[in-house]
Amino acid sequence: MNATPLSQEGHLQRRGNCAGLRIGSSPISKPEKSLRKHPTVLMSAGMLHSLQLWSKILQEMCGEQKIQQLEIPRETPENTLEVQESGEYRCQAQDSSPSSPVCLVFSSASLILQAPLSVFEGDSVVLRCRAKAEVTLNTIYKDDNVLAFLNENSDFQIHQASLKDNGEYRCTGHKESCCLVSSNTVKIQVQELFSRPVLRASSSQPISGSPVTLTCETQLSLERSDAQLQFCFFRNGQTLGSGWSRSPNFQIAAMWREDSGFYWCKAAAVTHSIISDSLRSWIQVQRKTVNGKYIPEANASQGRNEQEWERTQNN
């Protein structure tokens, strides 16, 4: 995922979550972006449909101190809008709440580090150091430790983002006329693509011969609600059915004594190597006695008949 709004230069900082406003082709989740003066930036509504309203709140570098607040409603039949001014932007579709804000700041800095505003596990992330003509790129840092020497290549790529990539990034360069210059600092916080799955069973103590439906429940991040997941179910270390499937449900037509055991599931992203396991859940198959009580199949298999087991429970 790569933050390149058209061909412009800029930097990103994070301050909150975004429901679906995008700059260029990059989903915006934490709202600050700085660009060279005076490009045109294409903004789109991402997951929001039938966009009807845009509003802008001008602030001093989108900080806490507001120097001017001006809401400018603009209706458009499309879900994109070109902008050329600094400000805090949000979008709203008909009959929906406004998105989280995106701060857009046009900058005249000599050196700018661009990065995605939201990063999820498994993402391919490009950190791009943009410099004016008089600046020669030098080094990119993570948490003030040298990460790579840039030379003529202004990009540094993280192929599959994970929690170990969390940190503060910046790049440096040498200005011909004077000195070493440093870019803005970008903080990257890798987010979960989906929550840890939870296994649900239609019954944790099914009657012998009855069906059971297993469900692997998880939730995608709102910003990646279109991501494809696949699921796999297990019993006592053995894979159930044919393995991975796009369905979060697995149907067992009939449960018998030998089906008692520990069950769990796995969820995985189809396009990323992200896999997460649920906790183990014990399912005990039972069978019904004549008077309506239930007896575990394990007890019946120990040579006791139903009446003997019932007497031991009553004593």
CATH no. of 198-284 = 2.60.40.10
Which residues sit opposite 80 in a β-bridge?
Answer: 44
Residue 291's identity, in one-letter code, is N
Q: What sign does the CA torsion over 143, 146, 152, 156 have? A: negative
Residue 205 burial (10 A CB sphere; 0-12, 13-18, 19+)? middle
Dist CA 22 CA 27 (whole Å) = 5
Please give the pLDDT value at position 253.
Answer: 96
Of 260, 259, 257, 255, the C-alpha closest to 300 is: 257
CA 216 to chain centre: 18
Residues whose CB is less than 8 angstroms from the CB of residue 210 and which lie 6 or more positions away in sequence, other chains included: 203, 254, 255
Using alpha carbons, list the distances in angstroms from residue 230 to 18, 203, 264, 271: 26, 23, 14, 10
- The per-residue pLDDT for 300 is 37
- CB 45 within 8 Å of CB 19: no
Rounded CA separation 202/26 (Å): 40
Q: Do domains 10-191 and 198-284 have the same CATH topology?
A: yes
DSSP code string of 79-140: SEEEE-S-EEEEEEETTSPPPPPEEEEEE--SEEEE--S-EETT--EEEEEEE-TTEEEEEE
Rounded to the nearest angstrom, the gap between the alpha carbon of residue 315 and the centroid of all alpha carbons in its chain is 56
Amino acid at 99: S
Q: Please state the domain extents for the chain.
A: 10-191, 198-284
CA 207 remoteness from chain centre: 40
Q: CB-based contacts of 200: which residues, under 8 Å, 6+ apart?
A: 214, 215, 216, 217
According to the model, what pLDDT value does residue 109 have? Answer: 87
Give yes or no for a contact between 276 and 196, defined as CB atoms under 8 angstroms apart.
Answer: yes
**pLDDT for 292:** 60
CATH number of 10-191: 2.60.40.10
**pLDDT under 50 in the chain at which residues?**
1-20, 23-42, 45-68, 298-313, 315
Quote the pLDDT of residue 254. 95
The model's pTM is 0.63
